């Protein structure tokens, strides 16, 4: 049987298969609130058969938003629309999951469709004025980028607390898995980087301190029976971030603090965006071996992600023990039914048993009718 379609259990979570929809920002929130777009967009993946569906990066602080359209969990009013989404995902058979994030010095960007550069006063005319970002040090992402505020030690501690508070709200919204966004050159990644973090207090002398404190703050609020994921940028080697051995050290310490899964991403480097002219492939193909080594060195479960397009390739990563879960992002935007189609392609489900029950009978009849039509067409063409 295809491993991709074997159930997956971790702590008290049970997913029907190992296909994960990774967090994908829609830049469509209103005042940090999720909307009906988010509900429809995410529920569609659950209907398409995914095992776990992640809500996009959800800001732990208003100033940590990437764009004005980011959603957040920095206040209690933001819980209700997300609870509705968690319920819908559960109803349609997927594990409801959410990523928490803070973009640090990369905050305050234009939405993709407005250019995705730093917000300027010109954007204020659209109601999207720039705001002051925060970073580990007062160092901009790159030339032309605004300089972030450098918080004092007490303010960094408050930042850590905001992660715990958001985790509490994610729990109250009913999510069953949570991911900390520690990648893509965002706040946690910035604290880890010698380029972005030049502090002289304990958050600079020990650059892993912030990440470890966040893990503790989140785990305090995140129940023991629910798994905790952590996203890293595995392409760091080329980007002035963590070397492989440092990554192993970090992940072992995170595991001691209750992290269960490392989500091996790439792209979006420490410096400007995109990664200072460096071409870092975001295909898992180029990182799968590294992900497998991380898995072995840390004992963490691994989620692989990056241009997974065909089901056989996804299955191959699992068979090679390079990953335990496979995330499918853009391919699922292209085809939200990717999981149920992949199941057929891998021979695991030929009878529509895992499709929504509302569709099943009609799809069985459609298949029979299509077969009959094909036979008629063949008879006509050979007549």
Ligand X SMILES: Cc1cc2nc3c(=O)[nH]c(=O)nc-3n(C[C@H](O)[C@H](O)[C@H](O)COP(=O)(O)O)c2cc1C
Residues in contact with ligand X by the rule CB under 6 A: 22-25, 56-57, 99, 181, 184, 231, 265, 282, 305-308, 328-331
Residue least distant from ligand X (Cβ)? 329
Angle between helices 79-91 and 153-172 (to 10 degrees): 40
Q: How many CA atoms lie within 13 A of 303 on its CB side?
A: 31
* Nearer of residues 162 and 266 to ligand X, judged by Cβ: 266
* Nearer of residues 148 and 306 to ligand X, judged by Cβ: 306
Beta carbons within 10 angstroms of residue 71's beta carbon: 27
- Reading the block at residue 367, the tokens are 């298949």
The set of catalytic residues is 186
Q: How far is the CB of 263 from ligand X (least distance, A)?
A: 8
Beta carbons within 10 angstroms of residue 253's beta carbon: 15
Q: Could you tell me how far CA 305 lies from the centroid of its own chain?
A: 9
For residues 133 and 149, the answer to whether their CB atoms sit within 8 Å is: yes
For residues 113 and 243, the answer to whether their CB atoms sit within 8 Å is: no
**Rounded distance, CA 72 to CA 173, Å?**
12
* Nearer of residues 186 and 222 to ligand X, judged by Cβ: 186
Q: Is the omega angle on the peptide bond into residue 274 within 30 degrees of 0, that is, cis?
A: yes
**Rounded distance, CA 62 to CA 129, Å?**
13
Q: How far is the CB of 278 from ligand X (least distance, A)?
A: 17
If residue 297 lies in a helix (H) or strand (E), which one and from where to where? Answer: helix 288-298
Surface-to-core class of residue 57, CB atoms within 10 Å of its CB (0-12 exposed, 13-18 middle, 19+ buried): buried
* Nearer of residues 151 and 269 to ligand X, judged by Cβ: 269
* Nearer of residues 22 and 241 to ligand X, judged by Cβ: 22
R_g of the chain computed on alpha carbons: 22
Q: How far is the CB of 201 from ligand X (least distance, A)?
A: 28
Q: How far is the CB of 39 from ligand X (least distance, A)?
A: 17
**Rounded distance, CA 245 to CA 377, Å?**
62
* Nearer of residues 110 and 137 to ligand X, judged by Cβ: 110
**Rounded distance, CA 44 to CA 192, Å?**
36
DSSP, res 295: H
């Amino acid at each position: 049987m295809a491993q991709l379609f074997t159930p997956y259990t971790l702590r008290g979570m049970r997913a029907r298969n190992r296909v994960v929809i990774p967090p994908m920002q829609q830049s469509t929130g209103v005042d940090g609130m999720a909307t009906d777009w988010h509900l429809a967009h995410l529920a569609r993946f659950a209907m398409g058969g995914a095992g776990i569906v992640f809500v996009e990066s959800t800001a732990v602080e208003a100033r940590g938003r990437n764009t004005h359209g980011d959603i957040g969990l920095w206040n209690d009013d933001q819980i209700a629309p997300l609870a509705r989404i968690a319920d819908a995902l559960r109803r349609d058979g997927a594990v409801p999951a959410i990523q928490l994030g803070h973009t640090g010095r990369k905050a305050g960007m234009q939405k993709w469709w407005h250019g995705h550069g730093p917000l300027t006063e010109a954007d204020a005319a659209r109601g999207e004025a720039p705001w002051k970002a925060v970073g580990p040090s007062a160092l901009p992402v790159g030339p032309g980028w605004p300089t972030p505020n450098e918080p004092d030690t007490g303010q960094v501690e408050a930042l850590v607390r905001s992660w715990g508070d958001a985790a509490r709200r994610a729990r109250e919204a009913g999510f069953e898995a949570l991911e900390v966004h520690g990648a893509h050159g965002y706040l946690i990644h910035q604290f880890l980087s010698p380029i972005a973090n030049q502090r002289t207090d304990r958050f600079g002398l020990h650059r892993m301190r912030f990440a470890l404190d966040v893990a503790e703050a989140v785990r305090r609020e995140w129940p023991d029976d629910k798994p905790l994921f952590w996203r890293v940028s595995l392409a760091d080697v080329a980007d002035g971030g963590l070397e492989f051995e440092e990554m192993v050290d970090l992940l072992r310490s995170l595991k001691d603090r209750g992290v269960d899964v490392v989500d091996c991403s790439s792209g979006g480097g420490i410096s400007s965006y995109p990664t200072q002219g460096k071409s870092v492939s975001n295909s898992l193909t180029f990182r799968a071996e590294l992900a497998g080594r991380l898995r072995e060195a840390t004992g963490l479960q691994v989620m692989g992600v990056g241009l997974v397009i065909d089901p056989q390739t996804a299955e191959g990563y699992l068979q090679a023990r390079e990953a335990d879960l496979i995330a499918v992002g853009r391919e699922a935007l292209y085809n939200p039914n990717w999981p149920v189609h992949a199941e057929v392609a891998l021979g695991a489900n030929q009878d529509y048993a895992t499709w929504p029950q509302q569709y099943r009978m009609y799809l069985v009849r459609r298949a029979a009718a299509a077969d009959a039509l094909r036979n008629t067409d063949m008879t006509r063409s050979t007549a």
